[in-house]
């Protein structure tokens, strides 16, 4: 088995690895350099996202109906384009 030096080393690793990682990854410059560009690639811009979600049942149904109508219009437009070709 290991001696007290091994236990002191393990304790130091267990203590300092999380602290060092928090200091390194918590730096605002690192966040802006690595996280924000990836976020922009992964998620749509804030202007395109829906910010006010409907909570009432009738508003939810209206929104679903609007989405269905948009889909049907796009599908009909694609079918008309396919028939023209």
Q: Which pLDDT score, from 0 to 100, does residue 1 have?
A: 66
What letter does residue 31 receive in the DSSP assignment?
A: I
Helices vs strands, H then E, count in the chain: 4, 0
pTM of the shown model: 0.45
Q: Which pLDDT score, from 0 to 100, does residue 47 have?
A: 85
Cα 62 from chain centroid? 27
Sign of CA dihedral 38, 41, 42, 46: positive
Q: Which pLDDT score, from 0 to 100, does residue 14 have?
A: 97
How far, CA to CA in Å, does 83 sit from each of 67, 76, 79?
24, 10, 6
Q: Which pLDDT score, from 0 to 100, does residue 49 have?
A: 83
Q: Are 30 and 24 in contact (CB under 8 A)?
A: yes
Q: Are 54 and 64 in contact (CB under 8 A)?
A: no
The pLDDT tens digits along the chain (85 residues) read: 678 999 999 999 999 999 999 999 999 999 999 999 998 889 888 888 878 888 899 999 999 999 999 999 999 999 999 998 7
Q: Which pLDDT score, from 0 to 100, does residue 44 have?
A: 86
């Amino acid at each position: 088995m290991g001696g007290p030096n091994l236990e002191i080393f393990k304790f130091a690793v267990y203590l300092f690895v999380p602290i060092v990682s928090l200091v390194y990854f918590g730096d605002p410059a690192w966040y802006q350099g690595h996280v924000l560009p990836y976020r922009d690639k992964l998620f749509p811009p804030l202007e395109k996202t829906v910010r006010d979600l409907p909570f009432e049942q009738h508003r939810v149904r209206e929104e679903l109906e609007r989405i269905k109508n948009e889909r049907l219009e796009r599908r009909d437009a694609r079918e008309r384009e396919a028939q023209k070709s």
